[in-house]
Chain A
Amino acid sequence: MIENILRIRDLSVNYQTNRGILKALRHVNLDIPKSSIVGVVGESGCGKSTLITSIIRQLDDNADIPNGLIEFEKQDLLKLSKDEMRNISGTKISIVFQNPMSTLNPVISIGRQMIDIQYRDQISKKIKKQRSIDMLTKVGLPDPHIQFNQYPHELSGGMQQRVSIAMALQAGPSLLIADEPTTALDATLEVQILKLLKELQEELGCSILFVSHHLGVIAELCDHVVVMYAGQVVEQGSTYEIFNKPAHPYTIKLLECDPASISKKQRLLPTIPGEIPDLINLSKGCIFKNRCSQSIDRCSQETPIWKEFDNAHFVSCHLTES
């Protein structure tokens, strides 16, 4: 059995809004095995960001977690005090955000920022500087000695993202959360950053939770894929399984919609008819029933159960049970 670095069980997150309680996440299960890359895909508003922020316990004040367990290295993150959590985030769990320009402080030089984040370590500034330069070399920044004294605006987008990856990995975390780290970059730079992430992951042996809505990127980088829809995880499995034998109708539709999957030129592109359900007034049954072309009577009566459909391939759909 492979050890899981992060284990999420039955996690739900609600937001208090003016219109009522918005159920942003409902009964989410997720495993991140040690030293592997897990990708989360889903459309905007499906709860990807809520999931990340609940792992690092940075949810907004109007959020509450009625039930669930987030087990990281054998301890439940939801039960930790603020101080205990602060010791974990930044050292054992770190994040790379979507927009590198807003991650980095524009008025402080890169080197200074890299030294500042090592405030926990009781070592001389000289060693801290050396460590930072080593890390910058590792992420492939040319002339790290010179770049060290530069300010974020002097670097291009790709270089800034390399710096934020260096900062995230400096403390040697066992889990790196990457929230759409390549969305703001061009295609050729995207390939470079993905390659870098993969190399660093192999070298440092950490796990990565990679969030994206770009199916190609997920297929390229990840070992396992989690598909989210409207606040639920609908399918989880190995990358090969999900892309070649998708089981949930939503996953199937999503893959069909990707123009990259259509090899023949066609003017009319496939879409998923209908709209994402309102997460405040949820109706009974399966969450995808209104947009699903194969829905049966049972779909509007019972909520499908999260089940193992094939070896390590989980799905929640009535159709896969028979």
Chain B
Amino acid sequence: MSKLLSIKNLRVRFRTNSPFQAMINKIEDPYIDAVRQVSLEMKEGETFTLVGESGSGKSTLALATAGLLNAEEGQIKFMNEDVTTMTSSQIMAYRKKISYIWQDSIGSLSPRMSVGSLITEAYKIHNLKDRDLKMESDRLLKLVGLPKQISERYPHQLSGGQARRVGVARAISLDPKMIIADEPTAGLDVSVQGEILNLLNKLKDDLGVSLFVITHNLNIVRHISDKTAVMYLGRFVEQGQTDDIFAKPRHPYTLALLSANLAPYSEANLKNRIELQGEVPSLMDRPNGCEFHTRCPFSSKHCDNEFPPIHTFNNSQILTCHYPLN
């Protein structure tokens, strides 16, 4: 499989004070880093999932990958083209190859447009005049398992699951190479959640797209993804093959996330649970040393003053921790 996406040392930051405010208040660094030193590689046909708590920078990373946010440092290469240095016309062509399924499925659909025109909107934006929009709309609806008649409905007439399917239809309309799905199952019931994930997997096989999934539902990660990265305060604390991470989490934060994942069936889970104390620190005031040490149940010396080294296990499981778990 060839390389699809490769990100190196990506840093994305947001301004917190205007230059003038910063000057008056003598703030030296009026920025927060939402994504810091993130590197990842994704091959064609793979499913990559990004997990982490809210505010950990998952969506920022995805937006930067889609070329919707500017990177401060680092490199995003998609099929050997550097996204960070693209001109606006190149970005337009790039967006045909990469598409997005938004988190708020109904909110991402314009309330004034019918489903039919929503899912063919991309053809108009990219000036593809040779397509028969009616036929395309029928084809896409069939692909995502919705009846043709739904093309005349408006977003408020859709159920949550149907709106997700419309979002998926919009995403596949231009035959993208990669789909970024931001919380594709948030707010759905378990059976509908299964339907949407089965649909995404089917499309992945039929159309050969790769999936970049953001979620905080670990139960689904285990079933759908090939590679997983765990994000905390804008950094990857652990990444690797999904099976390895679930079988043997080596970073304390990963372990905590996995044991916070409430499943009704495992008694053992209850006994070995690690509970994190406190809250996620502010990005404006990152802890010294290991950024997780304020909540880590295993923290000891070095953790609060030295940045942890990078460990690699089995050539694929990468993590930053002073005392990786065995």
Contacts and interface: CB of A to CB of B under 8 A. Distances in A.
Interface string B247-265: 0000000001100111111
B196 to A, nearest CB: 9
Interface in B239-284: 243, 256-257, 260-265, 270, 273, 275-276, 279-280
Nearest to B53: A186
A195 B275 contact: yes
Contact of B264 (A187, A258, A265, A271): A258
Contacts of A198: none
B216 A187 contact: yes
B85 interface: no
Given A188-B53, A269-B197, A259 B275 contact: no
B195 A258 contact: no
A7 B117 CA distance: 51
Nearest to B262: A216
B53 A260 contact: no
A269 B263 CA distance: 16
Contacts of B279: 156, 158-159, 189
Contacts of B262: 187, 190-191, 194, 214, 216-217, 219-220, 260
B21 to A, nearest CB: 19
A187 B261 contact: yes
A272 interface: yes
B263 A254 contact: no
Contacts of A44: 160, 189
Contacts of A259: 190, 193-194, 217, 219-220, 222-223
Given A191-B262, A260-B261, A272 B191 contact: yes
A257 B196 CA distance: 13
B191 A253 contact: yes
B194 A269 contact: yes
Nearest to A42: B189
Contacts of B219: 258-260
A318 to B, nearest CB: 22
A192 B275 contact: yes
Interface centre among B53, B194, B261 (most CB of A within 10 A): B194
A74 B216 CA distance: 44
Interface in A222-270: 243, 253-255, 257-262, 265-270
Interface centre among B191, B219, B275 (most CB of A within 10 A): B191
A187 B223 contact: no
Q: How large is the interface on A (under 10, 10 to 19, 20 to 34, 35 or more residues)?
A: 35 or more
B198 interface: yes
A277 interface: no
Contacts of A213: 189-190
Interface string B165-206: 000000000000000000000000111111101100100000
A308 interface: no
Contacts of B264: 215-216, 218-220, 243, 255, 258, 260-261
A187 B195 contact: no
Interface in A110-166: 156-159
B109 to A, nearest CB: 18
A271 B195 contact: yes
A43 interface: yes
Interface centre among A157, A188, A254 (most CB of B within 10 A): A188
Interface in B85-120: none
Nearest to B52: A186
Given A187-B218, A259-B220, A254 B191 contact: yes
Contacts of A265: 222-223, 243
Given A158-B279, A191-B262, A258-B264, A267 B195 contact: no
B17 interface: no
A189 B278 CA distance: 9
Given A187-B216, A259-B194, A262-B223, A157 B54 contact: yes
B229 to A, nearest CB: 16
A190 B190 contact: no
Contacts of B190: 43, 213, 215, 254, 257-259
B284 to A, nearest CB: 13
A61 B185 CA distance: 33
Contacts of A215: 190, 264
A14 B217 CA distance: 35
B224 interface: yes
Contacts of B224: 267
Interface in B206-245: 216-220, 222-224, 243
Contacts of A187: 53, 216, 218, 257, 260-262
A269 B190 CA distance: 10
Given A186-B54, A254-B191, A261-B263, A269 B275 contact: no
A187 B276 CA distance: 10
Closest CB pairs A-B (n = 3)? A216-B262, A219-B264, A260-B263
15 contacts: A43-B189, A157-B54, A188-B256, A191-B276, A259-B217, A260-B219, A260-B261, A261-B263, A266-B223, A267-B223, A268-B201, A269-B197, A269-B198, A271-B195, A271-B198
Interface of B: 53-54, 160, 189-195, 197-198, 201, 216-220, 222-224, 243, 256-257, 260-265, 270, 273, 275-276, 279-280
